Homo-oligomer: A and B are copies of this chain.
Amino acid sequence: MGLVVQKYGGSSVADAEGIKRVAKRIVDAKKSGHQVVVVVSAMGDTTDELIDLAEQVSPIPAGREFDMLLTAGERISMALLAMAIKNLGHEAQSFTGSQAGVITDSVHNKARIIDVTPGRIRTALDEGNIAIVAGFQGVSQDKKDITTLGRGGSDTTAVALAAALDAEVCEIYTDVDGVFTADPRVVKKARKIDWISFEDMLELASSGSKVLLHRCVEYARRYNIPIHVRSSFSGLQGTWVSNEPRGDRKVEQAIISGVAHDTSEAKITVVGVPDKPGEAAAIFRAIADNEINIDMVVQNVSAASTGLTDISFTLPKAEGRKAIDALEKQKAGVGFESLRYDDQIAKISLVGAGMKTNPGVTAGFFEALSDAGVNIELISTSEIRISVVTRAEDVTEAVRAVHTAFGLDSDSDEAVVYGGTGR
């Protein structure tokens, strides 16, 4: 039996009862003969409460101090979890990100992990302890300041520790049973995926699936750490994410892994752009200089009569205002006619490694949408993904139609087990 890293999110340790339940699960893993390292997030709404406090004292909290503040949340949950484990008669020690050797760059609020030097964790394990580590946090290499890793940081902490400790598996415990072929809140017949490749999972994550973040999957792929996403409320097997299905598990690679959707984006269309070299570059330089992340970009062929073309792109709604402002400033220089902003859109993506060798997939995707009466506004593809933009109001119907068309619907009439808390 080897070493396992387990990660529990804030909803799993939301209160004393949750902490005690998680403690029991951890002890079970230890009893089964594993060395156990646990990464834990802040309890429930703690982080939001701390952010609220920060906003009360300062409209723009300083990065260094904001990180110092937020890391208090994991300090509380990890200490309580260690106490709860010791109360079950097993030895446990909690460690901050810094103590666990999570070394980052100095970009506060969204630091990147540079190195992991888990000497103290190794010692604690060798002495028979269960090691509890604060997720989401590290210490900067140059200044020795406390940093946080940004969204999904605890998952990344878990995978990074699993890599540094050469763990068998990184188990990500959450409030759903695993990764599904579609969001079960939208598609009642969505099926839990038993195994999915890193590549497909990366595409799902960047297409709107929220179970795992892209960054965490990317880290796991780089170090080839199998991830097991599963529920902290049930004892069921969840979804394995790895290079290959594990030897003792016969899982056929599906042609299509799943359907993802994303309603968090908006679309900006730059209308009447002169169709000559350098115009598109000027537009996207203005966007990039404002550190705005864009997603899909589409340019149509220009109408021969006018020599003008339209360029459309999608971006997070939250950055829409900033992008419009940046582009307006460039209007005279670039020479476009007008801007159109539209945040009533949805992105629907079909993901699957099988697309590479199944040329019919794209056609089937468009046919399914067409049959459902869903109009396509933008299209973008990669080797293993097709994404389209539709009206936001069509998203549910579109996802269901595609899910059914590609035979992803569950055979069972039973409702899919989704979540354990009703949250």
Contacts and interface: CB of A to CB of B under 8 A. Distances in A.
A324 interface: no
A83 B57 contact: yes
A57 B65 CA distance: 30
Nearest to A134: B68
Interface string A51-63: 0011011111110
A61 B83 contact: yes
Given A58-B84, A68-B79, 19 more contacts: A20-B57, A23-B57, A50-B76, A53-B76, A53-B80, A57-B83, A59-B87, A61-B83, A62-B83, A65-B79, A65-B86, A65-B92, A66-B83, A68-B82, A69-B76, A69-B79, A69-B83, A71-B75, A75-B75
B75 A57 contact: no
A16 interface: yes
A82 B54 contact: no
A64 interface: yes
B83 A65 contact: yes
B93 A64 contact: yes
A171 to B, nearest CB: 22
Contacts of A53: 16, 76, 80
Those 7 A-B pairs whose CB atoms lie nearest each other, nearest first: A16-B56, A69-B79, A68-B79, A58-B87, A58-B83, A57-B84, A72-B72
Contacts of A60: 87
A94 interface: yes
B86 A62 contact: yes
A100 interface: no
A99 B86 CA distance: 28
Interface string A1-38: 00000000000000010011001000000000000000
